[in-house]
Amino acid sequence: MALLLDHDKVSVAEKIYWEAGGNCNMAIAAARLGLHVSAVGHVGDEIYGHFLLDVLHDEGISMVEMNEQNGEIDTLSTAYETLLCWVLVDPLQRHGFCSRADFSEEPAFSWLSTLSTKAKMAIRRAKIIFCNGYGFDELSPSLLGSALDYAVEVGTSIFFDPGPRGKSLITGTLEEQKALDKYLRMSDVLLLTSEEAESLTGTEDPIAAGQELLKKGIRTKWVIIKMGPKGSILITPSSISCAPAFKVNVIDTVGCGDSFVAAIAFGFIHKLPLVYTLTIANAVGAATAMGCGAGRNVAKLKQVLELVRGSNLNEDDKFWLELLKKHSDTEEIMLLTKAVINGSNNWLQRVSLQKVVGELLPKLERAQAKQVGAC
């Protein structure tokens, strides 16, 4: 859960500034795309926990508690309370994040040591389990590893986004390093920014970095590189797919990456063509950037539909051609464009945005009809 603060406030934030955060951003965005979502973790029995459960319930998201140790811990202790993150925002919309996990060498819920029966059942029933690097602030590396092992055992696909924590986990404790390496090798889908991909591989070229992660992976099917206002790239063993971002008035980038993941999950589950998956993910991320804060402020499907219909791409042909030409020997290279240019490079397949939009809209409109939470 996140508490949003004005830049000049240092006291406890009023409830108007409270917001769900962390993996709840991804969960809410996914639910708004019509996916059935459960949040697996721990929520305390106090005012913040009750608030968070109410938010999730209103979005049609169930909460699966990992704690089966009620008799072994002091439920009144700070360690049992809902983890709060203070989001510090300055006048230029730059952010800083702070939680009690930043002041401890142990994860916030280090007392959780095993997967609960309910958590295992949720993982077994799911098509995808998602974890990001900030999960290491909450749960022990061994417990996160157990969740991954169980997902592999029951055939549930694993999505992992190391986020900014990836860089510190590389040089963290031996247990953290091993758990990070395991997630990077055993996940079905990896999601990183270009900076994060470079920090993990030492390779500046985002496509080459993605290909390196793909080769090191055991189960890895997709590596997705988020390129900010440029767009995104999806790399498989035999293809490279690219989609420029949508042009929007950016208000706040908090939660953009999380909501982007939700749309990738939508495309993965519905087996959409790769460029189509990137297109909807870019639209969901852009729609989130148009609002302030995350949680209930992440993309609403109505906004996503408006962006897709508007088809206002931030095209930069020179950038994409320079980047992709280095990898022209790849079996299949696809680039989303507003107009297909006849007689273009034979190594590059341009995909018409008009065609993508025409096929995506019916799927999104069906998702809108099934919505439980905010439209």
CATH number at residue 351: 3.40.1190.20
Residue 339 lies in a domain: yes
| Residue 10 domain flag | yes
Residues 32, 36: Cα–Cα separation, whole Å: 9
The tokens describing 98, both together, are 């702070």
Pairing mode of beta strands 62-65, 85-89: unpaired
Residue 137: band (very low, low, confident or very high) from pLDDT cuts 50, 70, 90 = very high
Residue 374 lies in a domain: no
Q: Given this model, what pLDDT does residue 14 score? A: 61
Whether 128 contacts 265, CB under 8 Å: yes
Q: Which amino acid is at 353?
A: L
Q: 2 pLDDT exceeds 60?
A: no
Tell me the percentage of the chain whose pLDDT exceeds 90: 75
| Residue 311 zone, left/alpha/beta (φ > 0; ψ -120 to 50; rest) | left
Q: What is the mean pLDDT of the chain?
A: 90
Is residue 92 included in any domain, yes or no?
yes
Task: Note the pLDDT tens digit of each residue in 306-321.
Answer: 999 998 999 999 999 9
Task: Examine residue 333 and state whether it is found in any structural domain, yes or no.
Answer: yes
242 beta partners? 233, 335
Q: pLDDT-derived band of residue 104, with 50, 70 and 90 as boundaries? A: confident
Instruction: Give me the mean pLDDT over the 122-143 stretch.
Output: 96
For the stretch 320-360, pLDDT in tens is 999 999 999 999 999 999 877 655 578 999 999 999 999 99
What's the rounded mean pLDDT across residues 261-287?
97
Is residue 375, in this structure, part of any structural domain at all?
no
pLDDT at residue 95, as a whole number: 77
- pLDDT average, residue stretch 50-71: 89
Task: Answer yes or no: is pLDDT of 77 > 60.
Answer: yes
Q: Residue 154 pLDDT > 60, yes or no?
A: yes
Out of 210-219, 225-234, 353-362, least confident range: 353-362
Q: Is the pLDDT of residue 68 over 80?
A: no
Q: Is the pLDDT of residue 6 over 60?
A: no
pLDDT at 97: 83
> Is residue 14 in some structural domain?
yes
- Full residue range of the structural domain in which residue 78 is found: 2-369
The band of 89, judged by pLDDT with boundaries at 50, 70 and 90, is: confident
Position 262 pLDDT exceeds 50: yes
Is residue 20 domain-resident?
Answer: yes
Least confident of 14-28, 114-128, 217-231, 324-338: 14-28
Alpha carbons 368 and 34: distance in angstroms, whole number? 7
Residue 339: per-residue pLDDT: 78
Split into its structural domains, the chain has a count of 1
